[in-house]
Structure 1
Amino acid sequence: MFHEVPTGITDAFLYLENDGRRAATVSVLDAAKVTGFGIEILDPNTLGMDDLVAAGLDRLAIDAEIALRATLALRISSASVPPEFPLFVADHLRANGIELTVDDDEFVRRRRVKSETELDGIRRAQKAADAAMGVARSLIHELRPGLTSEEVRFAMQATCEEHGCELPDDVIVSHGAQSAIGHESGSGAIEAGEPVVVDIWPRDRVSRCWSDMTRTFVAGGGEPPDELAEYWRLTRDSLDRVYADLGPGANGRKLFERSSEPYIEAGKPTQLTKEPGTILEDGYFHGLGHGVGLEVHERPHMGRLDDDLVPGDVVTVEPGCYRRGFGGCRLEDIVLITEDGYEVLTDFPYDL
């Protein structure tokens, strides 16, 4: 909804398009915000809201009937809706002869190509991410006695605030064995020599768009353990192989297969080599990446499920390798797919 009507509206409303007409069922409270985007206002009061209230209908029944009347006002007899379309509204529309078809691809297609406003927001969010990651790197390398994951996270949040972005409380600063546990946020004191995976996703306040990046460090800044150094080497190799094939038209499944090659060659487990039906907790146990925009995780898929990349996609590229009880390494960039290739939006070194 925010992609089509990029303004703050608290109450739920129906957005409709038909034969060049764009309309929304917003009240006078939000009408001024919406008309600025060339959208026709279908105020619930002009659709009989007063009569529905007087008849004693509850809120859900009123919302569903207003949606039906708005649909009929735009002469819509059949429509495509996204998977998240409210079930109670769909039931009411269908019961009154409106044919609805769930068409995820239609709505994903429109959102995947970012508007200039969205792309500017993603760039701002990534600048905040780069700055925050620099703060994390300094703290983790200095490693003053008793430094905790929570303190690193708080310092990064303060940096993102300075850049007009917000950083959620559950972003990842996982150290030691914690760094091998999926989306474990990380907690407690960081010990010298441990791997520390820092995975952050700030959101730009103006555009509501996210970014996403990951780097891995050695606590205290010393020489990495041999196992971590191997994971880093394999992950850098994985990134290099992906970037060689990345661009418009590239298939997400093929890119994932390409990213898996170094790990397979080194004898590490991957999703492509595990036994069907088993849970993979070591090696390269996740996909290559995902789309980023108004959601942190959105299409296109870049893993065992796939999409072909198109210009305007913003995607992560984030291979990694892990072992339970030890830890892991993940390196993640965010990338804009262009007409003739790609642009890496992340501006931060990969060094451990």
Structure 2
Amino acid sequence: MTISRHDRLATALADRGADAYVAVKRPNQLYLLAEHHDDPSSVISRANCGAVLFHGDDVVVFPGIWISNACRDLLDNCEVVVNDPGDPPPHQQLATRLSAMGLKKVLFDTLSADMIGAITSKAAATECVENDFVTSQLRRTKDEHDIAGMREAARVADLGMQTAFGCIRPGVTCAEAIAEGTAAMLRAGAESVAMAPASGVGTYYLDSGEDPRRTIEAGDMVFIDMGIWVHGYLGDMTRAAIVGEGSKEQHSLLTTVQQAYKLASSAMVPGARAGEIYQSVVDHYAATDMDRYFVHHLSHGLGLGGDLPRVARGGEDVLQVGDALSCEPGCYVPGIGGARVENMILVTADGPEELTRTPIDPELG
């Protein structure tokens, strides 16, 4: 039987000797409010909700002035402390409420100086502790709702990437390709889309090579990195290709990167150590003297944002069933081009499951 998020939160609070939990970070708010709204990302659409207090069966939202009306009108089975012009800011409203409740210990996912000052002034008897166990523990192990959300985000990302690469040919600008991909994903239900294209020998990792105004030419290496949000869940993906025949060196680079992806993704199993997976990719690139061109992390967590685990140099995370993470071993060689393959991976008891479905070699227009 699946344990509800409410019950998991209650157990975690009891284990830590705490009476209540305050979510200030939007991903944690969305996660814990999912039992109070079909799609809380449509209500708290930005990171501008002041705080949400969870105490037993009570949920109290302190939205602040910007989304006060939306929270009041759209959230069910919870109290919304309305914030009208001239009202105190949400952290002061929260401090006043904590003073009235007389709680002994409250955990916060983050504590700002303003929050600490307000609580010290109004609820000095309440011990406030910063402890983001919702991100590090509860949200890390994906439940059925999470997995459904990530599958949908991956589906929409697939559609956008395939649409964009289907437009790529000599004479087309990068902007024209990603405009089609972006439109396809917005029509399919994404609330936010960012596609970063790079083409030509100047491509590197998140540098000026990602100029959407560049015109694609025969012989270019092209890669598109994207990050989208669908009902609050991240869809993350990258593909690379060669326009036209390309050179021997370009094909070698692309093949090496694709091999690195297959090596790393196949190692994402329960019990695998993040640092060892990362080092296996470094060693793979070192065999062809390309390790110096692998300049970033291999993986980050997926979900509602800021998720664990992370696979990078010296990483200490150990993968576990229920983890969701990217796999993106890019390589960027001066004078040749840049290539990266990135898929969304779910770690299951049977091994890694690719949520991303787009072929590793995307079809060009």
Using structure 1 for the length normalisation, give the TM-score.
Answer: 0.79
Alpha-carbon RMSD:
2.8
Structure 1 counterpart of 2:156, one-letter code: A
**Secondary structure of residue in 2 paired with 1:210:** strand
Choose which of 17, 32, 37 in structure 2 pairs with 1:4: 32
Q: Structure 1 residues 24 and 333 mapped into 2: Cα distance closer, same or farther (>3 Å)?
A: same
Q: Structure 1 residues 267 and 213 mapped into 2: Cα distance closer, same or farther (>3 Å)?
A: same
Aligned match of 2:88 = 59
Q: After TM superposition, give the deviation of residue 137 of structure 1 in Å.
A: 2.4
Structure 2 counterpart of 1:260, one-letter code: V
Task: Write out per-residue CA displacement over residues 73-116 of structure 1, whole angstroms, 9 at most, x where no aligned residue.
Answer: 44422222223x44311222134233222223443322223343
Q: Structure 1 residues 147 and 340 mapped into 2: Cα distance closer, same or farther (>3 Å)?
A: same
Say whether 1:82 aligns with 2:91: no
Q: Summarize the alignment of residues 241-256 of structure 1 with structure 2, pairs less than 5 Å apart.
A: 241-256=263-278
Say whether 1:319 aligns with 2:329: yes
Q: After TM superposition, give the deviation of residue 152 of structure 1 in Å.
A: 0.5
Q: After TM superposition, give the deviation of residue 316 of structure 1 in Å.
A: 0.5
Aligned match of 2:225 = 199
Choose which of 300, 303, 306 in structure 1 pairs with 2:312: 303
Q: What is the aligned residue count?
A: 315
**Secondary structure of residue in 2 paired with 1:59:** coil
Aligned match of 2:130 = 102
Structure 1 stretch displaced more, 148-157 or 119-128: 119-128
**Secondary structure of residue in 2 paired with 1:322:** strand
* Structure 1 unmatched ranges of 5 or more: 271-282
Structure 2 counterpart of 1:71, one-letter code: L
Q: Report if aligned partners of 1:181, 1:324 keep a CA contact under 8 Å in 2.
A: no
**Secondary structure of residue in 1 paired with 2:240:** strand
Q: Report if aligned partners of 1:13, 1:24 keep a CA contact under 8 Å in 2.
A: no
Q: Structure 1 residues 119 and 244 mapped into 2: Cα distance closer, same or farther (>3 Å)?
A: closer
Choose which of 157, 175, 184 in structure 2 pairs with 1:129: 157
Q: Report if aligned partners of 1:17, 1:23 keep a CA contact under 8 Å in 2.
A: yes
Q: Distance between the aligned counterparts of 1:74 and 1:120, measured in 2?
A: 37
Say whether 1:24 aligns with 2:33: no
Q: Distance between the aligned counterparts of 2:132 and 2:192, measured in 1?
A: 29
Q: After TM superposition, give the deviation of residue 32 of structure 1 in Å.
A: 6.2
Aligned match of 1:275 = none
Q: Distance between the aligned counterparts of 1:106 and 1:26, measured in 2?
A: 19
Q: After TM superposition, give the deviation of residue 248 of structure 1 in Å.
A: 2.3
Q: After TM superposition, give the deviation of residue 215 of structure 1 in Å.
A: 0.9
Q: Report if aligned partners of 2:139, 2:307 keep a CA contact under 8 Å in 1.
A: no
Q: Report if aligned partners of 2:239, 2:342 keep a CA contact under 8 Å in 1.
A: yes
Say whether 1:14 aligns with 2:55: no
Q: Distance between the aligned counterparts of 2:112 and 2:236, measured in 1?
A: 29
Q: Distance between the aligned counterparts of 1:75 and 1:339, measured in 2?
A: 44
Say whether 1:330 aligns with 2:340: yes
Using structure 2 for the length normalisation, give the TM-score.
Answer: 0.77
Identity %: 23
Structure 1 counterpart of 2:358, one-letter code: F
Choose which of 157, 174, 194 in structure 1 pairs with 2:182: 157
